[in-house]
Amino acid sequence: MKISKRQLRRIIREEVETLEYEMLQDTTDELLDADHPEDVVPQRDSWAGGQNVSNQVDHGEASGGGPNTRGQEIMKVTESQLKRIIRHEKRRILESISGTSVRTGESFLDMAVNALLAGDYKSATEAILNGYMMDDTWVSEEEALENTLMGIRTDDITPEEVKDAAEWWYAQYKDGMHRPQGQEEQREDWARAKAWANR
């Protein structure tokens, strides 16, 4: 039997519509009401997305959010819209220092502030780079960031000052101001990389 694309789409659309189902309002007997495990009547489909085992609650709605999803939800997005959304989110993420350390749960910006207060410019530089999700920079670029952070007054460092300094450095980084120019400078930068990492 041959099926055309139009027929296939119609069949899929009908199946999606049948996935919509109403929540059953009745509840099962409380499991602890039975005197013996044999007295508990098993309920069909409890573990397959059917009724809750003992308490029929829509947890999404009960917690103040909307009701839980019923069936398949489809969001129509064109390819150009998707590309624009991805570009926008990527730019937003890359152009702002954000995120938290998986190990400590502390924000990278707070880590940088605390490192600067302790006089640890290397850790502050690493925290800023991690906040921008950068792990492959030239030594000269990292030196420029560290020098920028050294320029902040240490008597009362605020997260805003550190963020402003990081964003100023990032704008220069995007313009390639601290990137080695030519092969000779790149070789020199590579030669300094090991010493820079072990300092």
- pLDDT for 124: 92
pLDDT tens digit at each of 199 positions of the chain = 688 888 888 887 777 666 655 545 454 555 566 677 777 776 666 555 555 555 566 666 766 667 666 666 677 888 898 888 888 887 776 666 777 787 888 888 889 999 999 989 999 999 999 888 887 888 899 999 999 999 887 777 888 889 889 989 988 988 888 888 888 888 888 888 877 777 7
The 3-state secondary structure of the chain, one letter per residue: CCCCHHHHHHHHHHHHHHHCCCCCCCCCCCHHHCCCHHHCCCCCCCCCCCCCCCCCCCHHHHCCCCCCCCCCCCCCCCHHHHHHHHHHHHHHHHCCCCCECCCCCCEHHHHHHHHHHCCCHHHHHHHHHHHCCCCCCCHHHHHHHHHHHHCCCCCCCCHHHHHHHHHHHHHHHHHCCCCCCHHHHHHHHHHHHHHHHCC
What confidence score (pLDDT) does residue 145 get? 93
The pLDDT score that the predictor gives to residue 73 is 66
Q: Which of 180, 198, 111, 109 is CA-nearest to residue 141?
A: 180
Residue spans per domain, the chain: 108-197
Q: What is the pLDDT of residue 112?
A: 92
